[in-house]
Amino acid sequence: MERIFLSSPHMSDEGYEQEYVQEAFDTNWIAPLGKNVDGFEEELAEMVGIDHATALSSGTAAIHLALKAVGVGEGDIVFCQSLTFSATANPIVYEGAKPVFIDSEPGNWNMDPKLLEEAFEKYTPKAVLIVHLYGLSAKIDEIKAICEKHNVPLIEDAAESLGTIYKDQWTGAFGDYGIFSFNGNKIITTSGGGMLVSNNEEGIQKAKFWATQAREPERHYQHEEIGYNYRMSNIVAGIGRGQLKVLEDRVQQKRHIFNTYKKGLADIEEISFIDEMEDERANFWLSTLLIDSDEVTPTMIMDALKEENIESRPVWKPMHIQPVFSKYDSVGGEVSEEYFEKGICLPSDTKMTDEDLERVVQIIRGIF
């Protein structure tokens, strides 16, 4: 039986991506600069509603440069959401800084504003790094207000939430810096890549400088700072430009997938979904549910789906219980640990048919 993927790359039926890539070949711009790179930066910034952007090799690189841009360095504290993928937290350690992990709010995958305030009573951080997990917005307006009160920069990890809009503003455009990912499993993909966005023109220009090995504008190769090979290639950017044209279609399909699961499993009392907030248009990058049962576990569901050649996976393991981060402090932790134990990410591939979705629903129903 044909495999159903969790979230695989989905190129446009119209072939937009191939047109931009072919242009790069035709003009011999096979390099980490060129018309596609410039166009991708401009088009995404305009779509998101922000002034400046720089296209990079990954979302992780974007987080790293955002941390550098706000001045994070050796020994600094950075408040970081605990329930996330390790790529959110790793760049903090790249800079020799120390993460302090903040738990999720009950009924919400993302950082608890009350616990963030509690963390400020104990520490003075250099930055706050929040995540819009699984395409659902954090309470970003509340978190932004807390950061402004304490005069601390806010960085948004919007790797999973491109296309999510909260209170008429795109996630990734609230903070001092926002980052997006175009990894192969994201809502749109460049095969690998990321974007750093900000209204701070000087900060974005500095990030571009670091991303090109911090080469000074001299005829010879002059370097006065440590730099990185983080720039996106013109080929990859061409894929991204084509994918932007179908982003809205992908968002609507992801929303259809989530609502199909929610409706199809609504009568099973042991199953619950964390849904979008009022005034939010979530992209539902992955449809994720929670199981509260003494008899049925997420592992049982994942195994049953695997037997039918259907991919699923657990919810992210919180950072504060990851061995690599065990020496760092955390505020709260019970909520994210519960979600890790009870959560499952269902297949959310935008190429799924309604028949595929019904098949998944029936397999899950059969377990209960």
The 10s digit of each residue's pLDDT in 190-246 is 999 999 999 999 999 999 999 999 999 998 999 999 999 999 999 999 999 999 999
* % of the chain beyond a pLDDT of 90: 98
pTM of the model: 0.97
Torsion of the alpha carbons at 164, 167, 91 and 52, rounded to the nearest 10: 90
Dist. CA 251–CA 248, nearest whole Å:
5
Mean pLDDT, all residues of the chain = 97
In Å, how far from its chain's centre is CA 144? 18
CA distances from 29 to 24, 171, 212, 234 (A): 5, 32, 17, 7
Order of strands, edge to edge, in the sheet holding 343-345?
271-273, 288-291, 343-345, 313-314
For residues 296-320, average pLDDT: 98
Q: Which two tokens stand for residue 323?
A: 């061995």
Torsion of CA 189, 190, 194, 197, to 10 degrees: -80
Q: Which two tokens stand for residue 108?
A: 């919400």
- Quick one: CA torsion of 24, 7, 168, 57, rounded to 10 degrees? -40
Taking residues 287-295, what's their average pLDDT?
Answer: 97
Residue-wise pLDDT tens digits, 56-66: 999 999 999 99
pLDDT given at position 1: 79
